[in-house]
Structure 1
Amino acid sequence: MSHFSFMEKLLDGVGVEWKALGDEGLFEISNSGRKPVKASLRAPGKTPYYGANNIQDYVEGHTHDGEFVLIAEDGSANLENYSIQYATGKFWANNHVHVVRGKPELNTRFLYHYLCIVNFIPFLSGGDRAKLTKGKLIEIPVPIPCPENPKKSLAIQAEIVRILDAFTELTAELTAELTAELNTRKKQYNYYRDQLLRFEEGEVEWKALGELGEFIRGKRFTKADYVEDGINVIHYGEIYTRYGVSTTRALSQVRSDMAGALRYAEPGDVVMAGVGETVEEVGKAVAWLGNGKVAIHDDSYAFRHSMNPKFISYVMQTAAFIDEKAKHVSRGKVNRLLIHGIAKVRIPIPYPNDPEKSLAEQARIVNILDKFDTLTNSITEGLPREIALRQKQYEYYRDLLLSFPKPQEVAA
């Protein structure tokens, strides 16, 4: 079966004629109403303000009212996947988008779906800041099925739109459902974690971290020192952006000739961020469980102790710990925990007078939380994969539905 079979069945023997966007009998280019407004001069409101790639603001007033396709004139974030937007109702368009719609014999939503698969690169000019001029815009060809029978043409267009919109809606629904499920699991995880680590009176003793171990502050390195193969390092910012509760491998490396100038966390140490934009970020921790040492940044600390490292890391995620450490955070342009402050932060130690029983209880709690953590992470990782799969399905059917035969292909 050829790749035209589906389209041939849909077209049912009728022809396809390719019309340029400049054909005023089918297309309306409504650029004259566009109006750029500096952010400082925009009056806040409810009308979406469109730029080249997305809605940039919400303002009072509007430049257009109706159903339109917005094609980036310049500033598209991706030239291979050129910025095409669909707008309905009242909206404001700035001068970085062409504003186009179909006339009565052309379904504007059909036009939108088709333009999403057009290769715009041959129509662009301008070098570094690629531009789609109106002169080139009007040359872009669009397929019109059954042009001699407008009623049938619109019916074919509507059927294509129906199928593609159904895929779009299913993808949006799936994304919403998976996101809601993920948020629910995260709330459940946080609840059970805090419950497990909220001990009854007499079960634990709250001890300052300074009583339980020692802190080693890291040494400074910068992004300019990063290399692909060098000394393993943990930057403080990565602790709350790239790592979870624990890790067995470093995500970054710096130059090998820096080895003697750095300070290191050893296996079993808990690496803590010393600064952050929020109180939650400061003091966030990752247990280092790798086989060797790892260098740490000077805005972080390695906490060396004799407890279960993942237990400490889990404790440092709890609401109770966040409240406790907030008492010792120095606030300024950034929030900061200095050694003398973080050493005063207390954490709960189960069965403090029986080290063996205490470690067993810490391990039990870690085992339970690891299972919750694995479940939550599996959903977190699966969400983008599932969404990407649905998007590929949509793109496959979109390309199939919009693969109209060119004149030379029909003749062949």
Structure 2
Amino acid sequence: MNGLSYLEKLLDGAEVEWMSLGDIGNFIRGNGLQKKDFAESGFPAIHYGQIYTMYGLQAEKTFSYVSPELANKLRKAQKNDLLLATTSENDEDVVKPLAWLGDKTAISGDMMLFRHGQNVKYLAHFFQSEIFQTQKIKYITGAKVRRVSSRDLAKIIIPIPCPDNPAKSLAIQSEIVRILDTFTALTTELTTELTTELTMRKKQYNHYRDLLLSFEEGEVEWKTLGEIAKIQRGASPRPIAQYMTEADDGIPWIKIGDTSPGSKYINGTAQKVTPDGAKKSRILNPGDFVISNSMSFGRPYILSITGAIHDGWASISDFSERLDSDYLYHYLSSQRVKNYWGSKINSGSVSNLNADIIKTLPLPLPDIQKQKWIATLLDKFDTLTSSISEGIPREIELRQKQYEYYRDLLFSFPKPEATSN
């Protein structure tokens, strides 16, 4: 779609006037409503914080209600009002719009409604455009809490096609909305489809992993992990600040925060400890395992570096030649093992995954060649699932950028010289 030529065809010679929001409508501030006022039923109500967390670009029903008695004291939005959250902790979100398409609803403070005679969805799309954002940024005030006043919002200009012919103006606005809604719907549909696909692939991977790691009684030998590996808890030298260093001879200091979501390995650290500090910790080598013992307990990682480990870890090292490290990784990641850790943690006698529990883990030991074969298959499944996990956000981002491109293009009506800056 050639946006400029399409706009010319859509306008069919009609003029576009850039008008201030104050000239086409009125801002009305909400009042009084707090989240503690919500009731299970009653009069529909919207709190400004919900615009960020619970609503998209448009809505006709609320998620919350207040008592009729309180509603009588509150300001109310009506169909075709544009609702705006006027405070935020960041510049991008402040004045986030919501096109209200439902019946009367009460609104809270720190939000306002804009009452006008335009297509409310046309306004909502415009409020998200780069053209609006560039104007808005000049009027944001506040330090921690960022806000824009109604007086300053009223100065922002918006393109209104043929304002002297309201019927034709609304028809043009509706066509622009139709195009942008189509892009939005396609993005939503793609997000749903790709998310469903990822969920199914993960279920498939988990199913085959648990199937490949299940063995009939007597099919393989079983040992406890403590019988074939050295299990230790990490240790932090005290006071840790005394041993932190940036020196070249420092030892990587491996903490929970050095992991990457979905990663199998720990490849580097943000900090180092001195050699003396490392001696007061636990030093591990490439190929050794760490396993979280509190936050997200039981999540295993393989080290690709030599380093000292924080006391939030337990370590698994010195396994015999009978155990393949990739096989061990997949086994520790299986649902069977997660259930085992959960049964121990939830027993009430312990609050974290300590070394003594890890030592007791039953471990099936097929011959080393079969372990490698199982690990190779599961690595392939893991790689496929990971590639989909990484590709989905990229694909969704591309669709979102496509919407943003055409949105900004469809609002790029020529400005008179006096208002071109």
Q: TM-score range by the shorter chain?
A: 0.7 to 0.9
Query: What is residue 284 of structure 1 aligned with on the other side?
Result: 299
For 2:64 and 2:147, the matched residues in 1 are separated by 26
The correspondence for 1:43, drawn from 13, 18, 39, is: 39
Query: What is residue 14 of structure 1 aligned with on the other side?
Result: 14
Verify the 8 A CA contact 2:245 2:271 in the aligned structure 1.
yes
Verify the 8 A CA contact 2:291 2:299 in the aligned structure 1.
yes
1:86 equivalent in alignment to 2:82: no
The 1:14–1:375 alpha-carbon spacing in structure 2 relative to 1, beyond 3 Å, is same
TM-score by length of 1: 0.84
Query: What is residue 124 of structure 2 aligned with on the other side?
Result: 112
| Root mean square deviation of aligned Cα | 3.1
Query: What is residue 100 of structure 1 aligned with on the other side?
Result: 114
Task: Calculate percent identity across the aligned residue pairs.
Answer: 37
Q: What 5-or-longer segments of structure 2 have no aligned partner?
A: 55-61
Verify the 8 A CA contact 1:51 1:94 in the aligned structure 2.
yes
1:77 equivalent in alignment to 2:90: yes
Query: What is residue 396 of structure 1 aligned with on the other side?
Result: 405
- Please give the per-residue CA displacement for 1:333-360, whole angstroms capped at 9, x wherever unaligned: 994022222211212111xxxxxxx111
AA aligned opposite 1:42: F
After the TM superposition, which residues 218-367 of structure 1 pair with which residues of structure 2 at under 5 Å, given as runs? 218-220=234-236, 231-236=251-256, 242-244=261-263, 246-247=264-265, 249-250=267-268, 252-255=270-273, 258-276=277-295, 281-288=296-303, 290=304, 292-304=305-317, 305-306=319-320, 307-329=323-345, 335-350=351-366, 358-367=367-376
The 1:262–1:186 alpha-carbon spacing in structure 2 relative to 1, beyond 3 Å, is same
Verify the 8 A CA contact 2:265 2:301 in the aligned structure 1.
yes
The 1:131–1:81 alpha-carbon spacing in structure 2 relative to 1, beyond 3 Å, is closer
- Please give the per-residue CA displacement for 1:290-324, whole angstroms capped at 9, x wherever unaligned: 2x313221121120113211211211122221232
Out of 217-226 and 383-392, give the one that drifted further.
217-226
Out of 248-257 and 162-171, give the one that drifted further.
248-257
AA aligned opposite 1:379: I
For 1:333 and 1:11, the matched residues in 2 are separated by 74
AA aligned opposite 1:14: A
For 1:108 and 1:179, the matched residues in 2 are separated by 30
Q: CA shift at 1:234, angstroms? A: 3.3
For 2:409 and 2:93, the matched residues in 1 are separated by 19
Verify the 8 A CA contact 2:90 2:146 in the aligned structure 1.
no
1:182 equivalent in alignment to 2:198: yes
The 1:182–1:299 alpha-carbon spacing in structure 2 relative to 1, beyond 3 Å, is same
For 1:228 and 1:128, the matched residues in 2 are separated by 37
Verify the 8 A CA contact 2:94 2:146 in the aligned structure 1.
no
The 1:327–1:71 alpha-carbon spacing in structure 2 relative to 1, beyond 3 Å, is closer
Verify the 8 A CA contact 2:246 2:272 in the aligned structure 1.
yes
The 1:29–1:346 alpha-carbon spacing in structure 2 relative to 1, beyond 3 Å, is same
For 1:101 and 1:316, the matched residues in 2 are separated by 59
- Please give the per-residue CA displacement for 1:217-263, whole angstroms capped at 9, x wherever unaligned: 22227998697996434324666x6353x216135333557444432
The 1:227–1:335 alpha-carbon spacing in structure 2 relative to 1, beyond 3 Å, is farther
AA aligned opposite 1:21: L
Verify the 8 A CA contact 2:25 2:116 in the aligned structure 1.
yes
Out of 74-83 and 378-387, give the one that drifted further.
74-83
After the TM superposition, which residues 124-203 of structure 1 pair with which residues of structure 2 at under 5 Å, given as runs? 124-203=140-219
Secondary structure of the equivalent of 1:403? coil
Out of 336-345 and 62-71, give the one that drifted further.
62-71
Q: CA shift at 1:82, angstroms? A: 5.3
- Structure 1 residue runs of 4 or more that deviate by more than 6 Å after TM superposition: 221-224, 226-230, 330-334
Secondary structure of the equivalent of 1:67? coil
For 1:312 and 1:402, the matched residues in 2 are separated by 57
User: How many residues in Structure 1 have an aligned counterpart in Structure 2?
Assistant: 389
Secondary structure of the equivalent of 1:262? coil
Query: What is residue 54 of structure 1 aligned with on the other side?
Result: 52
Out of 203-212 and 58-67, give the one that drifted further.
58-67
TM-score by length of 2: 0.82
Secondary structure of the equivalent of 2:344? coil
Verify the 8 A CA contact 1:209 1:345 in the aligned structure 2.
yes
Verify the 8 A CA contact 1:21 1:141 in the aligned structure 2.
yes
The 1:318–1:126 alpha-carbon spacing in structure 2 relative to 1, beyond 3 Å, is closer
For 1:93 and 1:187, the matched residues in 2 are separated by 42
AA aligned opposite 2:231: F
Secondary structure of the equivalent of 2:345? coil
Q: CA shift at 1:44, angstroms? A: 3.6
The correspondence for 2:27, drawn from 26, 29, 35, is: 29
Secondary structure of the equivalent of 1:295? strand
Secondary structure of the equivalent of 1:373? helix
Verify the 8 A CA contact 1:233 1:296 in the aligned structure 2.
yes
